[in-house]
């Protein structure tokens, strides 16, 4: 058995140039030995677990839909607005929600407190994302992602 405490997992930060997209996160599955670049499913793990924190006014990422990935969310603290094809839904501590492949979504923190939530995602090989607002695609290929809008572009291009 592999065991790790959240206090032992380093925080990572991702922030767009203007700060509109900003999150800190702990990659729990990677800390437990997941090899995200392996094609061996026993090394990839069948799912990925992360703990995210989003500051007031921020979002983790632009509105997007996964081609093959499913994601399950559980809000720990703070409030969020979740955007999907039906509009906006307010969520808070203890709320859980799910998005399957093709379900466009975005989570934002309207403030005033930090938003903290867990996300569990399966790890399909060949995953890609579509960003409806900016009409671009992210194609995942280890070790990097390719972001395209007709041709390769920057991840935050057209988002701010």
Please report, for the chain, the start and end positions of each structural domain, with discontinuous segments joined by +: 6-125
Residues in Cβ contact with 7 at an 8 Å cutoff, skipping those fewer than 6 apart: none
User: What are the per-10-residue average pLDDT scores of the chain (160 residues)?
Assistant: 95 94 96 86 87 96 95 98 97 98 97 96 87 88 64 79
Instruction: List, as one string, the DSSP characters of 37-55.
Output: T-S-HHHH-SEEEEEEEE-
Q: In this predicted structure, what is the pLDDT of residue 46?
A: 86
What was the pLDDT predicted at 44? 82
pLDDT of residue 143: 60
Regarding the domain with residue range 6-125, which homologous superfamily does it belong to in the CATH classification?
Jelly Rolls (2.60.120.10)
SS3 43: helix
Its pTM stands at: 0.87
pLDDT of 152 reads 72
pLDDT reported for residue 123 = 78
pLDDT at 138: 85
């Amino acid at each position: 058995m592999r065991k790790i405490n959240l206090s032992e997992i380093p925080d990572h930060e991702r922030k767009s140039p203007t700060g509109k997209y900003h999150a800190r996160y702990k990659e729990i599955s990677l800390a437990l030995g997941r090899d995200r670049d392996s094609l061996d499913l026993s090394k990839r793990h069948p799912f990925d677990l992360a703990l995210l924190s989003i500051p007031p006014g921020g979002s983790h990422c632009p509105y997007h839909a996964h081609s093959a990935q499913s994601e399950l969310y559980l809000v720990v603290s703070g409030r969020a607005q979740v955007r999907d094809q039906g509009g906006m839904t307010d969520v808070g501590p203890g709320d859980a929600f799910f998005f399957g492949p093709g379900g466009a979504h975005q989570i934002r923190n309207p403030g005033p407190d930090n938003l903290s939530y867990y996300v569990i995602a399966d790890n399909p090989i060949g995953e890609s994302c579509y960003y409806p607002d900016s009409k671009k695609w992210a194609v995942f290929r280890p070790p990097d992602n390719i972001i395209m809008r007709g041709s390769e572009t920057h991840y935050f291009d057209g988002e701010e």
